[in-house]
Amino acid sequence: MPRPPHVELPHQHQEFLNWALENGVTVNHIRPAVLPGAGLGIIATSSLPPPPPPSIANGSFNLNGSDSSAPTPKRRRLSPGTTLAATPSSLLVNRDSVHRFCPRLPSSAALTASNISTHAILALALAIEKDNPNNFWRPWLDILPTAPEFQELLPLFWDVSEQDLLPPSAKSLLDKQTIKYALDWREIQNLLSNTPELTSTDLPEDTFKWAWAAVNTRTLYYKPETPERESSTRDDFMTLCPFIDYFNHSSTGCHVAFSHQAGYSVTLPVDTPRINENDEIFVSYGCHSNDFLLVEYGFILPEDENRWDDLNLDPLLTPTLHPSAQTQLEEEGFWGNYTADRNGVCYRTQAVARMALIPMGTGFEEGLLLRWRRFLRGEDAGEREQHVVDEWVRRVLAGLRGRWGEVERKVAEVGGQKGRVVEQRWMQVLRIVEGVEKGLVV
């Protein structure tokens, strides 16, 4: 949904922009702007196609008589495929460059031996350098979101009583994130107490958590240059990328590319039909549901603007299953990842529903399990039991309506940005439930 930008930049962003340009960042036909509800983002400064040149008929002569529509040869016009922004490798902060960013860190060998995640190492570096006036990246450090901003935006920072108001699909993602964060913080505390260079470092948890959130919401992934590092996990190749981290997310966005020589670039897709001046320009952070966007980044998209949105039903379904049902599902590769969208439930949910209806442990399951496997292989369409399956799905989804009934008043009491985003997500969840119910045979 378009949000009218404020094009006048707060002074620290103007200073960052000057620093970025001086240090090799390319900025073409775009600029950062304040976008209410989304912090800062990037807007276009040109349109596509360009406005028609003024004609003689509408009086377009300069006072001195020269034709103002004569093309200016200096700058190429905005067109599909134009590189809008590029950040050189020298400004990226990642596992390869983190010692330049934060020389106080233990050596690479020591960090590798410690097995600490790259996310935690980048967060530690950011936390140490946060207030260093002499850091080369100072202008960029000055524009990172503040701790109070994260506290309002990101569920990780909310009180437990507020976190509990999230729909189960979002809450289960948050639980995983909380475990990941706690593990990283524990590893960092161990590192600080066992590393002579760092024992004097006073690192309050609040500062580390702020840095961990900054890394989580602002990193991109790059491909390693050295083949031996290709065996490492994707998380090892997280990189912070000044300027390109101004781009907000949409389901489809500009093309983002990385090369070790040139760094990161953002290019306008070749099929871009039109852009108006001041339109926001996006990149895509990936194929993410709104629950994921809410937990990881602190915002959701309107449902008709998120082609990847769905509802993960695992937290509702998996706790209700008999342990031997879990074993059967795992053996067939059907354990977990049960989803629904407004068109209905996925095939995996059909499979788990049929499994949930088998009376496991009663001695009557043999024949039913054979039939279940025939359904998985497509040898039995499963029409005979479709109505009981649909009844089961309806009952499970009714649990979501019930949960909203329990939390509705408390969400209203939370209010503010937090309360609003939780309520909006619940409304989207209930619309998915309605959509599924419409397609059920019972």
Ligand X SMILES: C[S@@+](CC[C@H](N)C(=O)[O-])C[C@H]1O[C@@H](n2cnc3c(N)ncnc32)[C@H](O)[C@@H]1O
Q: Looking only at Cα atoms, what is the longest distance across the chain?
A: 98
- Taking CB under 6 A as the binding criterion, the range among 37-45, 340-348, 355-363, 392-400 that sits at the site for ligand X is 37-45
Give the one residue of 95, 209, 249, 418 binding ligand X; rule: CB under 6 A: 249
Contact present, 207 and 87 (Cβ < 8 Å): no
153 is a contact residue toward ligand X (CB under 6 A): yes
Residue 238: partners with Cβ closer than 8 Å, 6 or more residues away: 94, 95, 118, 119, 122, 215, 219, 220, 221
Give the one residue of 298, 325, 360, 433 binding ligand X; rule: CB under 6 A: 298
Spatial strand order of the sheet with 26-27 comes to 26-27, 83-87, 263-267, 248-259, 280-283, 40-44, 30-34
Minimum CB distance to ligand X, residue 18 (Å): 17
41 is a contact residue toward ligand X (CB under 6 A): yes
Minimum CB distance to ligand X, residue 248 (Å): 3
Query: Which residue's CB is nearer to ligand X, number 218 or number 348?
Result: 218
101 is a contact residue toward ligand X (CB under 6 A): no
Give the one residue of 299, 334, 335, 338 binding ligand X; rule: CB under 6 A: 299
Length of the chain: 442
Contact present, 325 and 359 (Cβ < 8 Å): no
Task: Report d(CA 264, CA 223) in Å as an integer.
Answer: 11
Minimum CB distance to ligand X, residue 13 (Å): 9
Task: Report d(CA 365, CA 373) in Å as an integer.
Answer: 12
Site for ligand X in 184-223 (CB under 6 A): 217-218
Query: Which residue's CB is nearer to ligand X, number 119 or number 249?
Result: 249
Site for ligand X in 359-418 (CB under 6 A): none
248 is a contact residue toward ligand X (CB under 6 A): yes
264 is a contact residue toward ligand X (CB under 6 A): no
Q: How many CB atoms lie within 10 A of CB 165?
A: 25
- Taking CB under 6 A as the binding criterion, the range among 160-168, 224-232, 241-249, 271-279 that sits at the site for ligand X is 241-249
Task: Report d(CA 274, CA 162) in Å as an integer.
Answer: 42
245 is a contact residue toward ligand X (CB under 6 A): yes
Give the one residue of 16, 297, 334, 426 binding ligand X; rule: CB under 6 A: 297
292 is a contact residue toward ligand X (CB under 6 A): no
State whether the Cα torsion 108-110-115-120 is positive or negative: negative
Contacting residues toward ligand X, per CB under 6 A:
37-41, 153, 217-218, 245-246, 248-250, 297-299, 301
